[in-house]
């Protein structure tokens, strides 16, 4: 469900006519074919589909981690297609990424990891970093684990630290790829609800890739991808 007010604003993410090809010559393989997609601010979209259909590829292009080869990819009004390394880097700072694994820095405490999410924005935002990071960790229920290192946290706790890091700067767009795949059903559910509640609170748009059918209900919209195309629902 999309509310009409948010549609009047520019979409947090809008993709039009995006195709993507890996390799060249005999190895050439088209993994995305004319994708069109718009996500309004505050909207939560779940993307699912069979393995290898191109979900991760779409997410990395939408997240400015990979250059767009054709079509158009916009964050708000900012076009990413043809953007230089510096512009892509700037765009990444306005995205909260939540990965399946390998997502925290092992030499930093929970607080230090969340801080890294803020520090990427430069010294301008760091004035009250400690209060903001601590508050963010409190909101994901980790007040008592702020100075713990990732190695001593459980999988669910680690993922919550990652959520805190992704959301501490209240980015307009959150991208999550199989964020719950490594977690048991209960903690997976908790994480997804956290993402939803925090995103709704900030008015952030969320694009979440998942195989987990049990969490589809948190989404405003569910998209299914097959063979590099997003299925059009009747």
Partner 1 sequence: MFYRTPLGWLQLRHRPMRLVVAICGVMFANLLMFMQFGFLGSLIQTTVQLQSHLIGDIVISSTSGRQLQGIGTVPRRRLLQSLAVPGVRDMTEVYSGLIDWINPTTGKTANLTVIGIDPEVPVFLDPDIDAQRFKLRTLGSALMDRRARGDWSAVIRSVEAGGVLTTEISGRQARVEGLFSMGATFGADGTLIVSRETFLSFTGARSAGAVSFGLVRLAPGVDPGATVEALRTVLAYEDTKVETMAEFLASHKRFLAQDSPVSFVFRTGAFIGLLVGAAIVYQILYADVNEHMSEYAMLKSLGYSHGYLLGVVCEQAAILAVLGYLPSLAAAAAVYAVVAKATALPLVLTFDRAANVFALTCLMCAVSGALATRRLRAADPADIF
Ligand X SMILES: Nc1ncnc2c1ncn2[C@@H]1O[C@H](COP(=O)(O)OP(=O)(O)OP(=O)(O)O)[C@@H](O)[C@H]1O
Considering the rule CB under 5 A, would residue 100 count as an interface residue with Mg ion?
A: no
Interface map 188-207 toward ligand X (x if CB under 6 A): --------------------
Instruction: Give the residue closest to ligand X by C-beta.
Output: 56
Contact of residue 117 among Mg ion, ligand X, partner 1, none (CB under 5-8 Å per partner type):
partner 1
Q: Which residues pair with 35 in a beta bridge?
A: 18
| Piece of the chain touching ligand X by CB under 6 A; list 45-53, 91-99, 111-119, 184-192 | 45-53
**Contacts to partner 1 from residues 47-66, by CB under 8 A:** 56, 59-60, 63, 65-66
Q: Can you list the positions of beta strands (E) in the chain?
A: 13-22, 29-39, 44-48, 72-75, 78-79, 95-98, 173-177, 205-209, 221-226, 229-230
Q: Which of 54, 63, 117, 150 binds ligand X (CB under 6 A)?
A: 54
Q: Quote the CA–CA distance of 75 and 158 in Å, as a whole number.
A: 28
For CA atoms 75, 91, 164, 128, give the dihedral sign. negative
**Contacts to Mg ion from residues 22-81, by CB under 5 A:** 56
Considering the rule CB under 6 A, would residue 17 count as an interface residue with ligand X?
A: no
- Give how many residues touch Mg ion by CB under 5 A: 1
Considering the rule CB under 8 A, would residue 212 count as an interface residue with partner 1?
A: no
Contact, 215 vs 189, CB < 8 A?
yes
Query: Which residue matches tokens 């069109």?
Result: 36
Q: Quote the CA–CA distance of 122 and 129 in Å, as a whole number.
A: 11
Query: Footprint of ligand X on this chain (CB under 6 A)?
Result: 22-23, 31, 51-57
């Amino acid at each position: 469900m999309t509310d009409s007010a948010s549609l009047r604003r520019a979409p947090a993410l809008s993709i039009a006519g995006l195709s993507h090809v890996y390799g060249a010559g005999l190895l050439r393989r088209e993994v995305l074919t004319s994708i069109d997609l718009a996500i309004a601010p505050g909207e939560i979209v779940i993307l699912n589909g069979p393995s290898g259909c191109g979900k991760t590829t779409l997410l990395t292009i939408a997240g400015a981690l990979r250059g767009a080869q054709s079509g158009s990819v916009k964050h708000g009004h900012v076009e990413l297609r043809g953007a230089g390394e510096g512009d892509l880097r700037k765009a990444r700072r306005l995205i909260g990424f939540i990965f399946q694994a390998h997502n925290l820095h092992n030499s930093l405490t929970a607080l230090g990891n969340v801080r890294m999410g803020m520090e990427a924005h430069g010294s301008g935002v760091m004035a009250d970093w400690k209060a903001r990071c601590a508050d963010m960790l409190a909101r994901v229920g980790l007040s008592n684990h702020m100075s713990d290192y990732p190695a001593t946290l459980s999988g669910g706790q680690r993922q919550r630290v990652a959520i805190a890091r992704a959301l501490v700067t209240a980015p307009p767009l959150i991208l999550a790829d199989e964020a719950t795949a490594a977690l048991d059903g209960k903690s997976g559910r908790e994480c997804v609800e956290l993402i939803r509640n925090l995103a709704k609170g900030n008015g952030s748009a969320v694009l979440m890739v998942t195989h987990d059918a049990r969490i589809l209900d948190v989404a405003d919209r569910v998209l299914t991808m097959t063979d590099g195309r997003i299925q059009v629902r009747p």
